[in-house]
Amino acid sequence: MNEGFVAAFGRPPEAVAQAPGRVNLLGEHTDYNDGLVLPIALPQHTVVSLGRLSSGSDFTLRSDAFAGPLRFDVERLPDEPFGRYVFGCIREVLAAGHGVPPLDIHVASELPMGVGLSSSAALEVATLRALRALLALPIDDVRIAQMAQRAETDYAGVRCGIMDQMAASLADTGHALFLDARTLQTRLWALPAGAAVLVLDSGTPRSLVASGYNQRRSECEEACVRLGVASLRDVERIEDVEALAEPWRRRARHVVAENARVRRAVASSDAATLGELMNASHGSLRDDYEVSTPALDQLVSLLQAHRAVHGAKLTGAGFGGACVAVCVAERIGEVARDVLADYRRLGGRGRLLAPSPPPG
């Protein structure tokens, strides 16, 4: 794990930490509405290695993901988006009252960027874990997720919820993390027996994700004002949103129904029920929340039509990127091959993102 740092800086690191990407099975666009989510960690990780410098005030960041070193100090936000996540984490540690010495930092990641697998949350959580290890910081995993979220909202400009950072900090690959974004209470939920998670990239870039995402958040805030509630989590009956004007009616209906779907999924341990709820979630994200794209709809339809798939949906913010399916575990390789071939015949260019390594 140390080779990248040694090659970049000519000495071994003093602290190394990693964090996984995530895929969300259910509960989309609910976290910033104080709602319920069900992400699961992916096998791919981001690894951050740190070493103290004896002098200066600078941070030097190197990664295989870009050519030259990135240099910054704590006063100036780096131009490069990648550097902003790391800068944001360092600022969060300083804001919590802990000193941070000048550092050499190396980042190595197996996670593809920009497809919706939360490579940024993995980078933030791995950075904070490495800082915690190096500086013996008294912060727990939930606090790490909160600091990571603020690094993203305050320094990278996306008003994200806390799901991705909580998943990177607390989830594992064998269980989904049932998270209540209002209380930050979590419970590990085992995947139904014999089921496995497949993640396919639609091959279309996530265009408009930042602007579309922030717009959806504002629409939810406006729906709350019109309903006279503090958050859409407080709407208990779906009928209560029906009197709203559009688009607030459909936005609120998605959020309220999606929370109910997560509750139903974790109350059962049945793959068919989970699959049905995932299919319904995709329909709601497409028609009510309007964050799907024609390519995502096509790939999801192909997945849903496969006999070894229990259910499928887009995952994450939407607007392009990846889809997730829950399949019969022993047929996961067949599903990936069949669906990617059909998608290609229809003109799409998809690829397998998980499991990783690919099934034989």
Q: Which of 163, 205, 198 is nearest to 323 (CA)?
A: 198
Cβ of residue 189: shortest distance to ligand GLA, in angstroms?
17
Residues 6+ apart with CB under 8 A from 76: none
> How many Cβ atoms from other residues are within 10 Å of residue 298's Cβ?
18
Cβ of residue 269: shortest distance to ligand GLA, in angstroms?
23
The residue among 51 and 318 lying less far from ligand GLA, judged by its C-beta, is: 318
Whether the CB-CB separation of 289 and 337 falls below 8 Å is answered with no
Within residues 188-207, the interface with ligand GLA by CB under 6 A covers none
The residue among 53 and 208 lying less far from ligand GLA, judged by its C-beta, is: 208
The residue among 160 and 327 lying less far from ligand GLA, judged by its C-beta, is: 160
Given 34, 104, 164, 201, the catalytic residue: 164
- Sheet holding 195-201: strands in order across? 309-314, 322-328, 195-201, 351-354
- DSSP class per residue in 132-164: HHHHT----HHHHHHHHHHHHHHHT-----SHH
Cβ of residue 290: shortest distance to ligand GLA, in angstroms?
13
Cβ of residue 208: shortest distance to ligand GLA, in angstroms?
13
Cβ of residue 85: shortest distance to ligand GLA, in angstroms?
12
The residue among 160 and 170 lying less far from ligand GLA, judged by its C-beta, is: 160
- Asked if 164 touches ligand GLA (CB under 6 A), the answer is yes
For residue 76, what is the DSSP state?
S
Cβ of residue 24: shortest distance to ligand GLA, in angstroms?
6
Q: If you count DSSP H runs as helices and E runs as strands, how many of each does the chain have, helices first?
A: 10, 12
- Asked if 124 touches ligand GLA (CB under 6 A), the answer is no
Cβ of residue 351: shortest distance to ligand GLA, in angstroms?
20
Within residues 31-60, the interface with ligand GLA by CB under 6 A covers 31-32
The residue among 50 and 111 lying less far from ligand GLA, judged by its C-beta, is: 111
Residue 174 CA, chain-centre distance (Å), reads: 17
Residue corresponding to tokens 């290890």: 133
- Strand intervals (E) in 270-344: 309-314, 322-328
Number of residues that bind ligand GLA (CB under 6 A): 11
Q: Which of 347, 342, 278, 289 is nearest to 315 (CA)?
A: 278
Pairing of strands 66-72, 175-180: unpaired
Buried (b) or exposed (e) across 304-342, using 16+ Cβ within 10 A? bebebbbbbbbbbbbbbbbbbbbbbbebbbebbebbbeb
The residue among 9 and 32 lying less far from ligand GLA, judged by its C-beta, is: 32
**Which of 38, 148, 160, 198 lies at the binding interface for ligand GLA (CB under 6 A)?**
160
The residue among 2 and 214 lying less far from ligand GLA, judged by its C-beta, is: 214
Q: Is 164 a catalytic residue?
A: yes
Residue span binding ligand GLA (CB under 6 A) among the ranges 57-65, 139-147, 155-163, 246-254: 155-163
- Asked if 241 touches ligand GLA (CB under 6 A), the answer is no
**Which of 50, 317, 324, 335 lies at the binding interface for ligand GLA (CB under 6 A)?**
317
* Share of the chain residues as helix, strand and coil, in percent rounded to the nearest 5: 45, 20, 35
**Site map (CB under 6 A) of ligand GLA, residues 17-36, x = contact:** -------x---xx-xx----
Total residues found in the chain within this entry: 360
Q: At what angle do helices 209-227 and 248-267 cross, to 10 degrees?
A: 90
Residue span binding ligand GLA (CB under 6 A) among the ranges 160-168, 192-200, 234-242, 345-353: 160-168
Interface with ligand GLA (CB under 6 A): 24, 28-29, 31-32, 160-161, 163-164, 316-317
Give the residue numbers annotated as catalytic, written as ranges.
Answer: 164
